[in-house]
Structure 1
Amino acid sequence: MRRHLCGIRTAWTEAARPDEAADAVAQAVGDGALSQIVAFFSADYDPETLADALGARFPGVPVAGCSMSGGLAPTGGLDRGLVVIAFPAERFRIVSTVLDAIDHLDVERTASAVRALRRTLDPHGPEDTAAAGRFALSLIDGLTNAEETVVSAIAWALDGIPLVGGSAGDDLRFRDAVMLHGGRIHRKAAVLVLVETDYPVEIFKSDNFAPTATKFVVTASDGEARVVHELNAEPAAREYAMAIGLDPEGLSPMSFAAYPLAVKVGGEYFCRSIRRMNADGSLSFFCAVDEGVVLTLAEPRDIVAATRTELARLDAALGGVDLIIGFECVLRRLDAESRQVRHEVADLYRRYGVVGFETFGEQYRAMHLNQTFTGIAIGRGGAGTAAS
């Protein structure tokens, strides 16, 4: 467990059973008035049992969260288990909501729900919207293929409140991602948490790839299903495999992590990672990819150096980082493992108090991303550090 200077307590466990995990984090968090629990949990747990256990261990405290593909804790990555962020009642005002049926999203109704939630943090009217120390966390079912629509509607309604988040996963099974809110488990849903604090905060994103000269035009795709059938008028998997020097049969999550594809938006490149190769030679993606889009083959940069640079920038900007709530693509972990540098990344996360989960996609402002590390950094506010 770590007790941060801002009053937030973070706890994590690799207990095998959900009731044991809830006991462990409750004991670590201890007593004190809390405003919100945010929990990220293993797909190995029965989610209803975990929801009941957390409700019993933290009576009267709102709990929100989602299933994960691995946890992030100051001690390093967790392959399974439970990660909890306990926000104190003092100096944190937090409200949250769940958005159901996101696979058939009503954009206007969603925006209205977000505006209503936002107004609970705007007691003096719209002029409060841009107040410093506000941010939003989005947790979205990563198997509904709906993140682009959801995050666009949320960001529009937030009207300037910075948004970061992650897509819930289930390791790499691609079967069942679940959301937790209000003591209940939700599927095909998203959870939005709005936070207001007087501590300094800053959202960020970091990636470790650079564009190459190799381009692909998407000549046949199903945007809703996130399936690309053809690149450059050739079967997608074969064209991609040839570009990276592999046979299509040799494609794997490791190769997708090592050689991502990117799209250029507003002069900046954003990753569009491949989820899997299908039996018909098509490629399934973690993001929507429409026909006519030009994809650029990217090559990796030093993930340790890129991460260190961004965390050092945040540390300087905030006058010292107290903790970071982070959302990291599971493909970044696979890439770090394949390059045998995961322990070096974990050392950086330990130094800066990173806590969060490994995702099926990341959100940053109005964008849905892949193979990125996004999050919110909370500054020390003039205090020193504390841990236990």
Structure 2
Amino acid sequence: MQEAATPPVFIHVATSRAVDPVDAVREAAQGITAADTCFILAFVPGEQDTALVARTLAEELAGIPVFGCSSAGQITDRGYESDALLLLVFPKQHFRCSSLLLSPLLPLSTTQIAAQAQRHERKFRRTAGWKRLGLIFADGLSRQEDLLVSTLETVLGDLPVFGGSAGDQLRFEETFVLHNGAAHRNAAVLLFLETNLPFSGIGFDHFLPAGAQIVITDADPDARKVFEINGAPAAREYARLVGCDVLDLSPMVFAENPLLVQFNNTHYVRAISDADASGALSFMAAIDDGLVMTLGQGQEIIRTLQTGLEIRGESGARPDFILGFDCVLRKLEIEQKQLEQAVSDILRRESVFGFNTYGEQHCGVHMNQTFVGVAFFPPEERNFH
């Protein structure tokens, strides 16, 4: 029997496992009041009708801003789940929020997005003694997250931005973001937050570079497709490098054997989503001709998760909660290795809540097979007045 997790103090967590979207919203929304609530983050199961969920949330929670996205899985008070509507309720006592819908992402105008983000950030009135951060939720099938987050990093200066790409449980068909009572495709939601809670960013994966360098010799950057690696057909060469037959390539093989790219002395995962009939490989983050990469060698995923989440505040306090964006390919590997219960126990113990993504955003970089998050700590005594 699972040990009961200690619920967070400074946000309210609501879930529903009802299959019907309307029933799920009504169950999860019970007891949430506009008088106390600043905003809500909603992470919707990829199997549910996200547009219907968005409309029903607007009806049931009139007057409360709701943001979020469709998800490839949820991180709830039970740990990993796949079919739970998750609502994270952020109270006015500790949070202020302003939102911006960025649409369309394709075609992406960096000039327009830069101007919108700067203008919106300047209009967001500052509260003395409170600190700021940004959250970004992007359509996970737009293929524009790399350019989007690098643009935001450039124009927003010292504002830290964290986020994840909307998913749909590895179907790669439709992903949505939520804003103003509607579900949007080809869009992103940028949230500017102020909080009187101390916070700290988190970002880690479980791969180290291994083996010889690999060169992308033919690619379509816009489509994130690679046709040749080392001058050979991409899928065939990749299969040779990982030691399997090209016919045996699968999401599990891709999850355990990603390619890594080095940037600012740090290696980032460039995950492969699939191999098509022509032998091309589709990637979940930026790719280009001439890019030099290496195979990633996986480390023990339980140990790296425990180490990555052992974050403490300046006073040594544990986080009250961690808002987590965890790549769906990590979840896939964990499930295949039958580690789901062990990982869920860790997530529950560390008060992690969030969703499984099609990519993560941190420090101006869009990456894959990474855990990105924000740890929020109990406020200092002066903030209670």
For the aligned pair, the TM-score class normalised by the smaller chain equals over 0.9
- The percentage of aligned residue pairs carrying the same residue is 36
Structure 1 residues 321-330 or 114-123, which shifts more? Answer: 114-123
Q: Structure 1 residues 318, 141: CA separation in 2 closer, same or farther (over 3 Å shift)?
A: farther
Of 269, 272, 275, the match for 1:274: 272
* Distance in 2 separating the partners of 1:48 and 1:334: 26
Which moves more between the two structures, 111-120 or 280-289?
111-120
Equivalent in 203, 206, 210 of residue 205 of structure 1: 203
CA shift, 1:336, in A, is 1.0
Q: Is the 1:26–1:58 Cα contact (8 Å) retained in structure 2?
A: yes
TM-score (norm 2): 0.94
Equivalent residue pairs, number: 377
- SS in structure 2 of the partner of residue 104 of structure 1: coil
Structure 1 residue 73: deviation in Å?
Answer: 1.0
Q: Corresponding residue for 2:151? A: 153
Secondary structure of the equivalent of 2:311?
helix
2:143 is paired with a residue of what secondary structure? coil
Q: Paired residue for 1:358? A: 356
SS class of match (1:313): coil
Structure 1 counterpart of 2:50:
47
Deviation of 1:358 after TM superposition, in Å, equals 0.5
| Alignment check: 8 A CA contact 2:34 2:61 kept | no
Q: What's the Cα RMSD here? A: 1.9
Aligned equivalents of 2:318 and 2:265: distance in 1? 31
The answer to whether the 8 Å contact 1:22/1:53 transfers is yes
8 Å contact from structure 2 (residues 46, 73) kept in 1: no
- How much has 1:347 moved relative to structure 2? 0.9
Give the counterpart letter for 1:4 in structure 2.
P
Aligned counterparts of 1:30 and 1:22: Cα–Cα separation in 2: 14
The residue matched to 2:18 in structure 1 has which SS?
Answer: coil
Among candidates 5, 13, 18, match of residue 9 of structure 2: 5
Alpha-carbon distance in 2 for matches of 1:321, 1:348: 14
> 1:333-344 counterparts in 2 under 5 A?
333-344=331-342
Matched, 1:106 2:109: yes
Distance in structure 1 (CA, Å) of the matches to 2:374 and 2:197: 12
Structure 2 CA distance for aligned equivalents of residues 240 and 33 of structure 1? 53
Q: SS at 2:369's partner residue?
A: coil
How do 1:248-259 residues align onto structure 2 when only pairs under 5 Å count? 248-259=246-257
Give the superposition deviation at 1:345. Answer: 1.3
Per the alignment, residue 183 of structure 2 pairs with 185
* 1:196-248 Cα distance to aligned partner (Å, 9 max, x none): 11110011101011110232100000011000001100111111111111001
Kindly state the Cα deviation for residue 344 of structure 1 after the two structures are TM-superposed.
1.4
- Deviation (angstroms), 1:49: 1.6
- Contact 1:325-1:354 at 8 Å conserved across structures: yes
Unpaired segments of 5 or more residues in structure 1? Answer: 384-388
Of residues 40, 60, 63 in structure 2, which corresponds to 1:60? 63
Equivalent in the alignment of 1:121? 124
Tell me how far 1:312 sits from its aligned partner.
1.0
Q: Does 1:93 align with 2:96?
A: yes
Which consecutive residues of structure 2, in runs of 5 or more, have no partner in the other structure?
Answer: none
Matches within 5 A, 1:222-301: 222-301=220-299
Residue of structure 2 aligned with 1:345, choices 343, 346, 353: 343
| 4+ runs deviating over 6 angstroms | none
Matched, 1:320 2:314: no
Q: Distance in 2 between matches of 1:245 and 1:183?
A: 48
